[in-house]
Structure 1
Amino acid sequence: MRPVDGQLGRARVTEPDPQFEALLLYLKETRGFDFTGYKRSSLMRRVNRRMAQAGVDDYAQYLDFLQVHQEEFTALFNTILINVTAFFRDTEAWEYLRAEVVPQLLAARSPDAPLRVWSAGCASGQEAYTLAILLAEVLGVEEFRRRVKIYATDVDEEGLNEARHATYGEREVSGLDPVLLERYFEPQGNRFVFRKDLRRSVIFGRNDLVQDAPISRIDLLACRNTLMYFNAETQSRMLSRFHFALAEHGVLFLGKAEMLLSHSNLFLPVDLKRRMFRKVPRLPVVPGSVLVDMPRAVQSSELVGLDLLRYEAFLASPVAQIVVTTDGLVAMGNRQAQAQFGVGARDVGRPFRDLDLSYRPVELRRYIEQAQLERRMANVCDVEYPRAGGDTQYFDIQVHPLVGGDSSLLGVTLVFQDVTSSKRLQDDLEHANRQLETAYEELQSTVEELETTNEELQSTVEELETTNEELQSTNEELETMNEELQSTNDELQTINDELRERSIRLDEANAFLETILTSLRAGVAVLGKDMHVQVWNRRAEDLWGLRVEEAVGQHFLNLDIGLPTDRLRPALRGALNDGVECTDLELEAVNRRGRSITVRVTCSPLLSGGVPSGAILVMEHEERPG
């Protein structure tokens, strides 16, 4: 989005937080995760959430916390990399892909041609397996196994490990058509496993869409609800790589929050509503590049015939030239390159990025990358190069991709055209033009009035564009928050399921214990350390006429029953304090019917970790005659 001024106001730019940027740099340097291209609003929100869980107040403290607690990286990355996905998510888009897009892709190829598919940002694998199911339905299982390769990539290793297992719970497959579930998944306990014969066609691997090289010759590229997490600059860089990855007329399948309204030079919509886009063809591109050995300076004594002639012609070229390999190493430099920039035989084999020339006075590395990616010449015009004596030279720099006979990329050559004379002549002509322009002030006034009108129209157009981009950004932010909420809901659902299962197990254990106590023929009372009744079984109720709710919580020695509880005090004290068991203590008592009975009492300690925490009283009785 371009900043605007005048009657449109000024675009508000949020200053970056230095501490937060330092944290992102630390994550990139230590763990290889580059989050610098992510949108700061959603990224900071997720990092703040993890910091609150870890009990840390600011970013500087959290960086120190990460250095001390290595296990915290996993929790942080799981919070940042929200893996919200599902089988056939946005059903209407998938149906359009099956009915319209895939048949067109197949019709443009011979019956034996392979079909290469890339699921970028595959999370836990549901999208990759959805692609496999859809293509198997269109092609048939045999044709699918013979022709289709699906490359599924993500930056999150934990999610990739889950995807490789291809095992999903009932809730995760609940949205699948039952017919497809039965056809493509095998039940295994309470989980479902994707068919092994089709699983071999799905290849999982780690790929950072911001930093790593793209997979090539792709016919269908699905990258859904991933671009929206990145800022506009990073999105443009990723889309350029997607363009390179796709074969001619390949299709890009995006999420519902991603529009590509400002990248019509790379992709044109097939169906904007379903977010299907087709690659805009450029110069013919054959992906891949050859691997070369470390270059070294060529010795003229090693060359003969035409090779020697070509080499000497290169060295004697009147313009400075430098050749760089696909790996970014200096392969050759001629005499003019040595004279103008000091790049000669001693620099052969060095990384080009280590040379001052690579970034001063102009950043050449991005033009090299552009030439390699697009396979066409990149131009840098009117570059000022200050000389030691205070003079300034001007160069037009051409970056040419070097392509081998098999169309493989060999490297690039940089040609430096000295345009100092023409530049100075141009400056003289511009000075003369400025003098002539003075004579046309009246005409210029009329032109300025027309330009003012045009600028007003342009301002209106820019205002509309700005509004449109702000709405798009808001839509992406809302979609991001929606996925975060969905992720939180899934976590809460999992916790709820675990609590429910534990509650069931506890109820079963309590019921089992109640059955045991009820089945005993003797009265049982369990006392706590303070001699308060904790358990009072049904046989004890029948014996003494005291209900459970009347006994539990009362001090045992204070119970109004026909048992001389005072005589039990020594036995209870021995069980509670010393863990001593007292058996076969016979007491004369009166039961709930008022009859005299002899009660045989066993007092045992209730041990917890070998330490008495209470006492168990077992009361068996026999009635005396008459």
Structure 2
Amino acid sequence: MSEVPRDAEPDEELEDLLEFLRDARGFDFTGYKRSSLGRRIRKRMADIGIESYSDYRDQLETNTDEFSSLFNTILINVTSIFRDADAWTYLQREVLPELLAQLGAEEEIRVWSAGCSSGEEAYSLAIMFAEALGLDEALTRVKIYGTDVDDEALRDARSGLYPARTLEPLSAELRDKYFEQNGSQYSFRSDLRRRVIFGRHDITRDAPISRLDLLVCRNALMYFNVEAQTQIIDRFHFALREGGFLFLGKAEMLLNDADRFDVVSMRQRIFRRRPGGHATPYQPTGVKLRTGFGGEMQSVARNRQLRDLILDSSPGAALAVDTEGIVVFINHHARAQFGLTASDVGRPFQDLEVSYRPVELRSLIDQATHERRTLRINGAERRSGEDLQYFDILVQPLAGTGGLSAATNITFTDVTVATQLKAEVKRVREDLETAYEELQSTNEELETTNEELQSSIEELETTNEELQSTNEELETTNEELQSGNEELETMNEEMRIRSEELDEARAFLEGVLTSIAAAVVVLDKDLTVKSWNRGAADLWGLRADEASEQPFFGLDFGLPTGRLRPVVEDCIKTRKRGLPVEIAAVNRLGRSIVCTVHCSPFDGHRGGVVLLMEEDRSDGAS
């Protein structure tokens, strides 16, 4: 079965059904929050197999028993004896003594438990006053009114019968003192029960009970929309006497009523009607405000409603924390931004992630409260998955009566885009500065390069001039070289001619030496053989190539040259021809001969000598 669509716009069929319930049975649910109300009605429709609101209205018209089932579904009766024990303990120890001190010793104490459901809250009040005053005084002074719109719940309340598990918050002593066991259940004591009056009452439509000392309405306001809550609080203000106390649920708050209520304990949601002024006059009208409806109550309610709507829909995320560290307000943007819900109102602020991320806020709250000034944190960074968010956070203490701190308002302005743009601008600026510095450096380098180029051009011009001068010098040198070359060619020709002449002279001399039959040996001044003619080769058997350039006195041939050394050295020294010397020798054939040696100075070869050696044949002839 498909579910009825949940449109953002008001559902006309749902509104018609609510008007039918109001007209047919007197239950006015028009002030309830449409989201939760529609969800509960659809749940009941699903249980009986109906899909549309119009079909369900037909079912109600034909089956009157269905009203009871529907109301039980809508009116969730969640309650218990001394529910939220800490709050009740504070009420008993701190508030009740002050309340009793304001009244005369015999003055009646009027208490209203609005939205009492099955009566546990009303009986909790009876026990609390009986313990504070004593049972006898409570039976004469205390009057407690318990009201609700659920008739079945009221029947249970009047019976005063509860199962054992309902009484578990009570100590055994209190249970035995105020309850009597009746089979498997416990019954509230009858004498004190008579001081508790139960009746049907719609806090959105019916006249409020007046002259109250204490009004308890816990966890009921949260089911109404802002407009309905505004009128209900106006009725409660009218119902309380000056100095009377209002006790709300932990998820409920009077954030914009500092002009009419003082905060007794924000943590426990206990407020006191401020003395002075006048109560808002009660007018028995419906919850819905209509344009043009006169009266002071409607004007105040409309202004408070608009103020609450503006706070909840303000563009920035905002939340408020009371002086005891309890969250008392979270607007729409804060719930969406930080994953909070309406049920987080009433929780300790330190239990929420937003208290320490993106920044540690608890110490800032303490500082702002102590110094009584607004603190600002710019650019707080918060990581959400892969994304980074940046917030400007304002921590603003709110002053109550007498200038005392009542709460701290914390607003978060999302500056992610601005921060990213600033970072981008900063990066671009840094890039531009870097580029400018590089450009400046490049410009300086270009100027330096230009100067170097100018210098190089000047050097090149100088070098060019030098090269031109060198070229001229080279041309001159070339001309000189050409002239020298011509001279060398002339000299070369002369040398060639002389060489030819020398060759001819050498050939002539060699021819002369060769043609001489005697052995002729030419020595230089170092006594090295410079010439060895054919006659010497024939005489001694030593070829010219074997003797040339060899030390003469180192040659081994048939002539004992040692006897010639003095003669040769003397000839070199005196430069005079010496007398012939006869020396016994052995020729190339191994025959002993007498060799006559003539030593003459050789003027043409740096002081050498010429040796003429002949075999003496005179003895053989004879």
Structure of larger gyration radius: 2
Per the normalisation by structure 1, the TM-score is 0.47
Higher relative contact order (CA 8 A, sep 6+): 1
Per the normalisation by structure 2, the TM-score is 0.48
